[in-house]
């Protein structure tokens, strides 16, 4: 009996639901037919609304004529001005078209910037900026003056002070020999000894060794053994660069003398640059030369202080990581004798600002410790054209922030900045740290002005 009663109740409930659905469908159908008979156009949310705006009267000057709403469900239907004998036109719904986002990775800088609308950070390109681009020159060359094969006079005598590019005082002398071996078709370089090297350790000595490059190719390099605590090391080591004899007309030999340091990055003592190798080497016997070692320019660090940076480049990912470790002996900028420093790193490509990133502010200190990593996307095809401008800035809550000092990293930088960058490129995927002395300002190609640039974007 209970089962029968429950079955009857369920059947009654189902009948009520079906009846209600039939009523709703009937009402909607009737409503639709009524609207069509009355020639009343249906307003859709996807269709544009035609509004007839009456001229504004003086009495309604304070009342806005149209109020734009961005919430679609609350839009009110507006009766258009339609005569009863003319059927309303069916308007196709408007659809919003969104351009696909441009992947910021795996594209060159100019292709990325062509889709940016932020003109302040956009690199100028296209035809309207040809003159501005030419004014900045070519970026990324490794000291083109070193490859000038037309300047200077050379002799074929036994001991000769051949071409040397230096703007600093000598840091000792390097003795070596050159010979082109026709049997093995290679340039044989023999490093004999170095004399009167400067001391780099606190004990008044150095641990020197030498790296050899045949520019402009820096991938092929050789290195001598390290001589412990010796300012006049005798090497007597030979190295062979295999190449045709005619190729020497376009090559430059570079010796880089380093002081080995077990606990930090090795210190660069100086360079020896040998140009016009085709004329200076002989195919019958060894030609011996003694040349001055050009020291690295040392900036004064007592006034502005130093900053330690660690760089690491991942070629496969196209990612350059700049780790700001710490700074020391910064200049006091406040009345209290302290500062609120933070560090700003600017990525520069072909004389244009590409990206800028900052660290956090360290309050009331002249020796801040940051340990913050700033990551930049640098594709492998652009890595030779980029430089970094690093600025130490004092944060001021009231007035403008003040520059405390700056330094540069890259192929256009001088001294430590260039050597650090080349060491990072020679050792990818390996973090390399270096102390940088701060200077008052940077050259224009390393620190371009921050001005809005007009591009040919449509």
Give residue-wise pLDDT tens across range 20-51: 999 988 888 887 777 666 544 444 444 444 44
Residue 387 pLDDT exceeds 80: yes
Q: 80-94, 133-147, 386-400, 422-436: which has the minimum mean pLDDT?
A: 133-147
Separation between Cα atoms, residue 222 and residue 322, nearest integer Å: 28
Q: Which residue has the tokens 């490059």?
A: 213
pLDDT for 452 equals: 53
Q: 76-80, 145-149, 355-359, 433-437: which has the minimum mean pLDDT?
A: 145-149
Report the relative pairing of strands 369-377 and 319-328 from DSSP bridges: antiparallel
Reduced to 3 states (helix: H, G, I; strand: E, B; else coil), residue 309 is strand
Give residue-wise pLDDT tens across range 48-105: 444 444 454 444 444 444 444 444 444 444 444 444 444 444 444 444 444 444 444 5
pLDDT for 442 equals: 87
Average pLDDT over residues 301-326: 90
Give residue-wise pLDDT tens across range 263-278: 566 778 888 989 888 8
Domains of the chain: 170-295 (2.60.40.150), 306-446 (2.60.40.150)
Average pLDDT over residues 142-154: 37
Report the relative pairing of strands 287-295 and 341-349 from DSSP bridges: unpaired
Query: Which of the given ranges, 168-172, 207-211, 333-337, has the highest pLDDT on average?
Result: 207-211
Contacts of 390 (CB under 8 A, 6+ apart): 307, 309, 343, 344, 345, 346, 406, 407, 408, 409, 436
| Percentage of the chain modeled with pLDDT above 90 | 31
pLDDT for 336 equals: 80
pLDDT for 276 equals: 86
pLDDT for 200 equals: 79
What one-character-per-residue DSSP string does 221-265 give?
Answer: EEE----TT-SS-EEEEEEEEE--GGGGGG-EEEEEEEE--SSSP
Here the tokens at position 223 are 């290195």
Q: Which residue has the tokens 């090497």?
A: 235
390-410 b/e (C-beta count within 10 Å ≥ 16 → b): bbbbbbeeeeebebbbbbbbb
Residue 163 pLDDT exceeds 70: no
Residue spans of beta strands (DSSP E) within 143-198: 170-181, 186-195
| Residue 322 contacts residue 417 (beta carbons within 8 Å) | no
For the entire predicted model, the pTM comes to: 0.44
């Amino acid at each position: 009996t209970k089962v029968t009663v429950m079955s009857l109740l369920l059947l009654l409930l189902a009948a009520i639901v079906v009846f209600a659905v039939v009523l709703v469908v009937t009402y909607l159908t009737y409503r639709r037919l009524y609207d069509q008979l009355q020639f009343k156009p249906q307003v859709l949310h996807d269709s544009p609304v035609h509004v007839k705006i009456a001229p504004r009267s003086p009495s309604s000057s304070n009342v806005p004529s149209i109020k734009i709403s961005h919430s679609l469900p609350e839009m009110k239907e507006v009766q258009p001005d339609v005569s009863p004998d003319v059927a309303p036109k069916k308007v196709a719904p408007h659809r919003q078209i969104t351009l696909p986002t441009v992947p910021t990775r795996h594209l060159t800088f100019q292709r990325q910037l062509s889709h940016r609308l932020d003109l302040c950070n956009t690199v100028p390109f296209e035809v309207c900026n040809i003159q501005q681009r030419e004014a900045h020159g070519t970026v990324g060359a490794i000291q083109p003056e070193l490859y000038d094969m037309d300047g200077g006079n050379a002799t074929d005598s036994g001991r000769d002070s051949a071409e040397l590019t230096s703007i600093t005082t000598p840091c000792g002398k390097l003795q070596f020999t050159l010979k082109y071996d026709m049997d093995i078709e290679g340039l044989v370089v023999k490093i004999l000894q170095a004399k009167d090297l400067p001391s780099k350790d606190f004990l008044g000595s150095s641990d020197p060794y030498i790296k050899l490059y045949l520019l402009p190719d820096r991938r092929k390099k050789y290195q001598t053994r390290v001589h412990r605590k010796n300012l006049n090391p005798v090497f007597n080591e030979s190295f062979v660069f295999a190449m045709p004899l005619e190729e020497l007309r376009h090559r430059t030999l570079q010796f880089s003398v380093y002081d080995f340091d077990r606990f930090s990055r090795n210190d660069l003592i100086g360079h020896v640059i040998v140009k016009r190798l085709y004329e200076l080497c002989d195919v019958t016997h060894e030609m011996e030369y003694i040349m001055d070692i050009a020291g690295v320019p040392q900036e004064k660090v007592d006034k502005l202080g130093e900053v330690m940076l660690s760089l690491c480049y991942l070629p496969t990912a196209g990612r350059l990581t700049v780790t700001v470790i710490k700074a020391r002996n910064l200049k006091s900028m406040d009345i209290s004798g302290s500062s609120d420093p933070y560090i700003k790193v600017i990525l520069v490509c072909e004389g244009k600002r590409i990206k800028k990133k900052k660290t956090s502010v360290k309050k009331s200190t002249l020796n801040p410790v940051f340990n913050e990593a700033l990551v930049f996307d640098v594709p492998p095809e652009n890595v030779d054209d980029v430089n970094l401008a690093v600025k130490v800035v004092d944060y001021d809550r009231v007035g403008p922030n003040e520059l405390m000092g700056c330094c540069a990293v890259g192929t256009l930088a001088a001294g430590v900045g260039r050597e650090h960058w080349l060491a990072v490129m020679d050792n990818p995927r390996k973090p390399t740290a270096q102390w940088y002395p701060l200077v008052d300002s940077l050259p224009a190609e390393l620190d371009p002005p921050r001005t809005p640039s007009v591009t040919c974007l449509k």
